[in-house]
Structure 1
Amino acid sequence: MAPLDAGTPTSFIGLPLEMLMPGLEAMPAASAIAAYRAWLAANPTSPQRFAAWFNVGAMLGGAGDRAGAMAAYRQALALKPDLHQASVNLGLALETDGRIDDALALWGAALQPDAARIALLNQRGRLLEAGKRYAEAEHALRASLLTDPQQPDVVQHWVHLRQKGCIWPELGDGLPGLSEREMSLQTGPLGALALTDSPAMQRRIGEAWMARKVPAAPQRLSPTHGYTHDRIRVGYLSSDFCRHAMGFLIVELLERHDRTQFEVFGYCSTQEDGSELRRRILGALDHHIPIGHLSEEEAARRIRADEIDILIDLNGLTAGARLGALRWKPAPVQATYLGYVGPVPLPELDWMICDDVVVPPDQAEYYLPRPLPIKGCYQANDARPPILPVVTRESEGLPQQAVVFCCFNNFYKITPRIFTAWLSILRTVPDSALWLTEDNATGIANLRDLAGKSGVTPDRLIFASRCEPERYLARLGLADLFLDTFPYNAGTVASDALRMGLPIITCTGRSFASRMASSLMTAVGATGGITSNLHDYVGKAIALAKDPVARAAARCELAGDAWTRSLGDTAAFAARMEAVYRSICLRP
């Protein structure tokens, strides 16, 4: 999810000096600053001095003199303490200077009229969210929404903060002036996947978000009937060609494309992370085209100039997406794949690559773009064998003899319903523990508090610290059962669990996101843990936890080459994906 916009610092406040000296704003910065300082010296008692100091601060900031700008803003605030524009600008300068706590303290104490109150609250919420101080961020954004509930971006962040911090219920107790339906439609695309398993509702949420965020382009760039090329030119568009879940999944597909039939372009707006994975991804591309510095139109025109036959969007409705570029229709065929597992209702997209498990025929009508099922499981994987460190239950702080339930999904996927199910399992299996990711302090505190209130000793919840991918994979082998989330299943993590021989209990729903684990489990032939409701989910988890023989049998299903010959057979997957590409490629 994109962060709340920090906004552009206010750059100018009018005062009589501009009337006396027309064109002051257009002067070189040094000359304008000198003019303001001369006016300040000549007018020691003017009531407009606060505005002059503010304008000096704005111009010094624009010229790169952050210390001078901050001093000028403080002068302005000394003269007019309720000048909220100066508080915002000074706080942004402090943030840029790395003085996060000073910025938060300033915005928290700033005086301002009611109409400007929301700007400071939103700035506080944005910065607190970036620091994973979710409880404080949620409080700031709620206060902002109580002042003005008609702020869709703030509603989106407020709800998602509650999801990430396990501050339940997700929609709170409602907001005056905003109905539950209106709030739901403003939750944003990522939060929607964990809020509902209705693809129709997810689509409406996506449409509402795009109506606010992604205007139509003035023209279509690509020809309607395609190009004539000896090889199909496939362009992959992503901000995640790095150590990101999508990067781990896609790398070997890029490497295995048949270069006699396909030419592979990568349109990359990824921040350089220096990782070995990024080097592999870039090495797998025939053409690496950085577009992070380009505008949406410029990126689209570059794609059009390369005469891409099929453009594959790997972001969907996630942070870093270049939806504005897609709206120019720079390729005659455009599809979305892997990055976002829900409807992406962008008119210029032609296809959503999926499979018949994640999008069954009776749900296909609710999706945009049109579902395009690949034969077998939809998910690409990297089959390169990892070099795993030696880990033990003792080294990871796990009880030696207990049944260890595991879920390494992000906290925003944990819903009140699924956590209630987990607590029921823990109460029924007393010699057991639940192993989760150490996602954020707010969520950990809330989950432990809820566990204690439900009769489960909080220390039975164990939180694994963030670590290198190899250690994370090795850890999965220490657990007994993976308890999936609902309605937003594990995707990459589920594949990793199956690879490490860890049986999964999942619950399926109607949406793509709620059927991911089922697709992966079907592919490896381990369908015994698939359920269709939480009552059966709880019952199956308890039965396996209490039956060591049944648990061993479930592990046997995943032993040997079960993963390698199914999800890990990337050569076969690449051939199936290429067959799909050939079927949708347009030729004049």
Structure 2
Amino acid sequence: MAPRHSGLWVSRGNAEMALDQPQPAAASYEQACQCDPGNADAWVGRSRALFKLGEDEQALDCLEKGVALDDKPPFLAELMRYRQKQARWDDLPALWARVLAQLDEHNAYSMAFPMLAHPGATGADLLRSARACMAAERAKLPRPLPARPKPPEPVPAPAAGRPLRVGYLSGDLRDHAVSYLLVGVFEAHDRSAFRVIGIDACAKAVSDTPMRRRVLAAFDESIALGRCTPEEAASRIRALRLDVLIDLMGATGDGQAGVPLLRPAPLQVTWLGFPGTSGMDEIDYILADRHVAPPGSEGEFSECIVRLPDTFQPNDSQRAISPAVPTRASQGLPESGFVFCCHNNTYKVLPGMFDIWMHLLHRVPGSVLWLVNDGEHVWANLRAQAARRGIDGGRLVFAERCAYGDYLARYRLADLFLDTLPFNAGTTASDALWAGLPVLTQTGRSFAGRMAASLLHAVGLPELVTQTADEYEALALRLATHAQELAALRQRLNQQGRASALFDTARLTRHLEQALLTMCQRQQQGLPPQGFDVPALPAA
């Protein structure tokens, strides 16, 4: 009826993307671009489909065209994220300034995650961004929104009555970092006091892997939301008659991240999947610790802060490392020479930290920097950036993606893990520590920038937490040039690390359970949510 109507082609592409069909979606958006080259939504939609298809270079070019036509904040945030992802750093400072200046204007949910890697954003900025995102998301939902549900029945002490019904909402109950961290907690819950319910929010088909089977087997019951509206998802969760819903997605959620806005449970908690505030008034608590949410940071969160005593991050003490450690030569690393390592995603690697890393390569002869291979264009851009700083691009080595156990074993080839800022390593840091590789971090100004500090304190290596860029560079240089000092740190990590609080799954689970009981007891007493610190169990 209207084959030259650009907006209709965009709508078709949006529908195909919602059905996880990026190939036809890309074709639909391309038609929209041909019908009206001035349609910014068509160019941005096409870029999103191409990113899904792995055509990153072409996708970024389309995104640039879309932003040139309409520089609204969500488009700018996407451009920032994908320039960082591809290490295309020209004009980044100007882009960062534009994003920060428009933080409160016509915000969208898609901005929340990219903002974690914005080097100029404080914790207060991230709260403003999250609140604006949630306001836009809330406006899409039916009116009036549901009131806070009443508890399904009085919540007695577990020994005297029924177990608390705790639901875990996640789109990552599969081979994903969230499951690698949490599966041991699901298994370790005290079944006399808690009934553990999995709520699978993944809308795509998921492979039947050993991790997927282990996660699902750890739940007392589970449901799969599949492709449903937030209203349908909330209704199905409400039917579970939960006492507490723990949202493990936040702004990483694909399609169901706004479900807590509909209040399907009487108490709602955010944890782990998104390292920061949700910006939702409907979420009562965030699980944190004294490092990621230090006293005085309450103004950075829309939730009440519950501080776990050791660390915010759970870990599975059963994660297996492949017994065969590859050779350095097989990974493209030199047989001798110091190996600095950072296996964080490339979007976390920013020019300021890269400058420090290049200083280190210059001052440590024969050293290399071992990074993740995020594609040919990415490593070409990073090598070009190294060359601009007077470093041979060949001293940057790129690790291919591989099976999880092999990836852990590979850390044993490196000498020192260099963390990123403002978005620290989370799971990646605990992976390195589990494999016996010391991690050096600099503390940032937000939850996401303080994660590695939490892990290093919990594993017993607080001296590897620095406060300034100068301290970070000086300590990295010292460790790279004083072999005995680094060897002593590594020995401590290998002797004590796995017995530390960071990897004590049962201990963290007991602390988590105490937190949940306290939340529910407050509610049953008619008290509003209020932050508190969970008392530490005696050391083993």
TM-score relative to the length of structure 1: 0.80
The answer for unaligned runs of 5 or more in structure 2 is 156-161, 526-540
Structure 1 residues 367, 98: closer, same or farther in 2, change over 3 A?
A: closer
One-letter amino acid of the structure 1 residue matched with residue 169 of structure 2: L
Does residue 1:214 correspond to 2:138, yes or no?
yes
Q: Which residue of 2 aligns with 1:576?
A: 511
One-letter amino acid of the structure 1 residue matched with residue 30 of structure 2: W
Q: Matches of residues 16-35 of structure 1 in structure 2 within 5 Å?
A: none
Report how many aligned residue pairs link the two structures: 507
Q: Which residue of 2 aligns with 1:193?
A: 116
Distance 1:98 1:226 in 2: 40
Contact 2:174/2:211, CA 8 A, preserved across alignment = yes
Q: Which residue of 2 aligns with 1:166?
A: 87
Distance 1:236 1:173 in 2: 40
Distance 2:463 2:424 in 1: 16
One-letter amino acid of the structure 1 residue matched with residue 404 of structure 2: P
Contact 2:181/2:314, CA 8 A, preserved across alignment = yes
Does residue 1:487 correspond to 2:422, yes or no?
yes
Q: Which residue of 1 aligns with 2:193?
A: 261
Provide, for residues 123-158 of structure 1, a one-character-per-residue CA deviation record: whole Å limited to 9, x for no partner.
3312322233333322222222222223x4322321
Secondary structure of 1:579's match? helix
Aligned with 1:371 (options 301, 305, 308) = 305
Distance 2:102 2:308 in 1: 36
Q: Which residue of 2 aligns with 1:133?
A: 55
Distance 1:421 1:584 in 2: 44
Secondary structure of 2:226's match? coil
Contact 1:108/1:124, CA 8 A, preserved across alignment = no
Contact 1:221/1:330, CA 8 A, preserved across alignment = no
Q: Which residue of 2 aligns with 1:386?
A: 320
Q: Matches of residues 79-90 of structure 1 in structure 2 within 5 Å?
A: 84=6
One-letter amino acid of the structure 1 residue matched with residue 153 of structure 2: Y
Distance 1:103 1:303 in 2: 34
Q: Which residue of 1 aligns with 2:404?
A: 469
Q: Matches of residues 401-412 of structure 1 in structure 2 within 5 Å?
A: 401-412=336-347
Q: Which residue of 2 aligns with 1:237?
A: 169
Aligned with 2:365 (options 404, 412, 430) = 430
- Post-superposition offset of 1:254: 0.3
Distance 1:327 1:86 in 2: 30
Q: Which residue of 2 aligns with 1:551?
A: 486
Provide, for residues 530-586 of structure 1, a one-character-per-residue CA deviation record: whole Å limited to 9, x for no partner.
100111101110111011111101101201242233222111111111111111013
Distance 2:479 2:95 in 1: 40
Q: Which residue of 1 aligns with 2:127?
A: 203
Q: Which residue of 1 aligns with 2:393?
A: 458
Structure 1 residues 392, 476: closer, same or farther in 2, change over 3 A?
A: same
Distance 2:249 2:207 in 1: 18
Q: Matches of residues 299-338 of structure 1 in structure 2 within 5 Å?
A: 299-320=233-254, 322-338=256-272
Structure 1 residues 86, 288: closer, same or farther in 2, change over 3 A?
A: closer
One-letter amino acid of the structure 2 residue matched with residue 351 of structure 1: Y
Q: Which residue of 2 aligns with 1:280?
A: 214
Does residue 1:541 correspond to 2:467, yes or no?
no
One-letter amino acid of the structure 1 residue matched with residue 276 of structure 2: G
- Post-superposition offset of 1:103: 5.5
Structure 1 residues 129, 401: closer, same or farther in 2, change over 3 A?
A: same
- Post-superposition offset of 1:231: 1.1
Structure 1 residues 366, 169: closer, same or farther in 2, change over 3 A?
A: farther
Q: Which residue of 2 aligns with 1:28?
A: none
What is the aligned-residue RMSD (CA, Å)? Answer: 2.9
Q: Which residue of 2 aligns with 1:29?
A: none
Aligned with 1:587 (options 524, 529, 532) = 524
Structure 1 residues 83, 418: closer, same or farther in 2, change over 3 A?
A: same
Q: Which residue of 2 aligns with 1:66?
A: none
- Post-superposition offset of 1:509: 1.7
Provide, for residues 308-341 of structure 1, a one-character-per-residue CA deviation record: whole Å limited to 9, x for no partner.
1111000011132634321121111100000011
Contact 2:166/2:245, CA 8 A, preserved across alignment = yes
Q: Which residue of 2 aligns with 1:64?
A: none
Distance 2:198 2:22 in 1: 37
Answer with 316-325 or 423-432: which moved more.
Answer: 316-325
Distance 2:82 2:238 in 1: 38
Secondary structure of 2:251's match? coil
Provide, for residues 50-109 of structure 1, a one-character-per-residue CA deviation record: whole Å limited to 9, x for no partner.
x4xx4xxxxxxxxxxxxxxxxxxxxxxxxxxx6546876898999999995995699389
Q: Matches of residues 110-189 of structure 1 in structure 2 within 5 Å?
A: 111-113=34-36, 115=38, 117-150=39-72, 152-168=73-89, 171=92, 173-174=94-95, 181-182=101-102, 188-189=111-112
Secondary structure of 1:264's match? strand
- Post-superposition offset of 1:442: 2.9
TM-score relative to the length of structure 2: 0.87
Distance 2:338 2:455 in 1: 24
- Post-superposition offset of 1:299: 1.8
- Post-superposition offset of 1:510: 2.2
- Post-superposition offset of 1:212: 2.2
Secondary structure of 1:567's match? helix
Does residue 1:510 correspond to 2:434, yes or no?
no
Distance 1:175 1:409 in 2: 21
- Post-superposition offset of 1:170: 6.9
Contact 2:458/2:500, CA 8 A, preserved across alignment = no
Q: Which has the larger radius of gyration?
A: 1
Answer with 164-173 or 186-195: which moved more.
Answer: 164-173
Q: Which residue of 2 aligns with 1:32?
A: none
One-letter amino acid of the structure 2 residue matched with residue 154 of structure 1: F
- Post-superposition offset of 1:358: 0.9
Structure 1 residues 277, 109: closer, same or farther in 2, change over 3 A?
A: closer
- Post-superposition offset of 1:375: 1.4
Does residue 1:340 correspond to 2:274, yes or no?
yes
One-letter amino acid of the structure 2 residue matched with residue 361 of structure 1: P
Secondary structure of 2:168's match? strand
Secondary structure of 1:235's match? strand
Q: Which residue of 1 aligns with 2:457?
A: 522
The answer for unaligned runs of 5 or more in structure 1 is 1-12, 14-50, 55-81
Structure 1 residues 227, 434: closer, same or farther in 2, change over 3 A?
A: same
Contact 1:129/1:161, CA 8 A, preserved across alignment = no
Provide, for residues 385-426 of structure 1, a one-character-per-residue CA deviation record: whole Å limited to 9, x for no partner.
514141121222210111000011001111111111111111
Contact 2:116/2:448, CA 8 A, preserved across alignment = yes
Structure 1 residues 553, 170: closer, same or farther in 2, change over 3 A?
A: farther
One-letter amino acid of the structure 2 residue matched with residue 140 of structure 1: C
Distance 1:90 1:212 in 2: 23
